[in-house]
Structure 1
Amino acid sequence: MTHTPVLGRSSQPELLVLHSVRIQGMADDDAVAARFDLDRAETRETLLDDEAYGWVTHSVFVGTEGWSVTERGRAEDDRRLAEELAEANARPVVEQAHKAFRPLNGRLLQACTDWQLRPEEDDRLVPNTHTDREWDARVLAELGAVDDELGPLVAPLAAVLTRFEGYDNRFSVALGRAKSGQGEWVAGTGIGSCHVVWMELHEDLISTLGIQRAE
């Protein structure tokens, strides 16, 4: 018997808070709430509850502070994601998206490497000083090609699980800033750069499917 996916299933706020911490790696209250456009006060309360359950931990490191998920929290997120995926009958859609994502992932990572490094004959780890305009233009063109394929990948995902909405738009915005001369938007950290958005999408896909990154 064929099961029809429940279109546009919205995740529960409690799931989104924990999942936001997971896919961002480390994030403060504002970043956790902003990722899925959640109410900040309610997000704060949920984070404190999650901390009491041992699912997240708050830490301060060299002037940076934020929440990160624990192993127990990862297991709880896995449980919730698996339950949601089954209820939405969305596994085939997410599996297809992950299959399409994998070759794009290699291209994206290579492009980000090429943005950061400009190999020479005797040293392949020479930093890219961004003085070679043709080199940088080629990298941005490759990111543009990836961007063109991201929309068709995200659309069916968002149609079954709405928390996947916006990855393509965020990537396009970051790429637009990079093309305007703000090079940090290719692979910078602490901002929604192309690389950061991509890593979040990668973690979202594999955690939703319950697979390890190495797989």
Structure 2
Amino acid sequence: MNAVLHAVRVKGIASEAAIVDATGLSLGEVERELATLEGDELVLRRPSRKRPGWVLTEEGRIHHGAQLAAAHDDAELAAIAEHYEGFLAVNAQVKTVSAKWQHATDDAARFELIDRIETLHGRAAPVLERAGAAAERYGRYGARLGAALEKLEDDQRFFVSPLVDSYHTVWFECHEDFLLTLGRTRAGEGSE
């Protein structure tokens, strides 16, 4: 499966830097792959001053869906589904803490929420590490979530801001990846 195409699909709109964060590829590798994908009419650059980035074309969505469907055998999908259950075991709590963060008005409340997200991360990280054995990209989510927590110490945007690789942003992308891979929807499982 093409990692750049997958990152654009999961993110919806993705800058080159965001694709680098998501894939671990170098900026040069990402730029070359985007140029190839653009030439194949699978992605296009979204011209927007507010939120520019790369998006999939309709053909890109079809191509990605076919790649993803062929990317995992039944045993891998069963393992991913099992690890997804572990992810879901903390998902609602992560969403609750993230929502509370957006309404916290004082430092004491925010420090408490940071402690809570660190505790939840302690439960989620082993799940993603094990999921990474079935599909390497899930291990990257765990690493990205850990990096967001480290940056949160100095920059509070790394809790929920969509403008950086924040904990909430990476969590949302990981959830989206599980759903796409397993052929599920947020509405179907009640996690909108």
**Band of TM-score, shorter chain:** 0.7 to 0.9
How many positions carry a matched residue from both structures? 188
The percentage of aligned residue pairs carrying the same residue is 24
Query: Which of 115, 118, 128 is 1:154 aligned to?
Result: 128
Q: 1:45 & 1:177 partners in 2: Cα distance?
A: 29
TM-score by length of 1: 0.78
Q: Which has the higher contact order (CA 8 A, sep 6+)?
A: 1
Q: 1:70 & 1:210 partners in 2: Cα distance?
A: 20
TM-score by length of 2: 0.86
- Per the TM alignment, residue 193 of structure 1 is displaced from its structure 2 partner at its CA by 0.9
Match of residue 16 from structure 2: 29
Q: In structure 2, give the amino acid aligned to 1:208.
A: T
Q: Once the two structures are superposed, what CA deviation does each residue of 1:68-113 show, in whole Å capped at 9, x if it has no partner?
A: 1234322322211121112x73011110111122231111111011
Q: Is the 8 A contact 2:45 2:54 kept in 1?
A: yes
Match of residue 164 from structure 2: 191
Larger of the two Rg values belongs to structure: 1
Q: 1:77 & 1:213 partners in 2: Cα distance?
A: 19
- Classify 1:33/1:174 alpha carbon distance in 2 versus 1 (closer, same or farther; 3 Å): closer
Q: In structure 2, give the amino acid aligned to 1:46.
A: E
Match of residue 204 from structure 1: 177
Residue aligned with 1:111, SS:
helix
Query: Which of 107, 113, 117 is 1:143 aligned to?
Result: 117
Segment of structure 1 superposing worse, 136-145 or 37-46: 37-46
Match of residue 85 from structure 1: 72
- Per the TM alignment, residue 150 of structure 1 is displaced from its structure 2 partner at its CA by 1.4
The residue correspondences of 1:26-175 to structure 2 (distance < 5 A) are 26-86=13-73, 89-117=75-103, 128-131=104-107, 133=108, 135-175=109-149
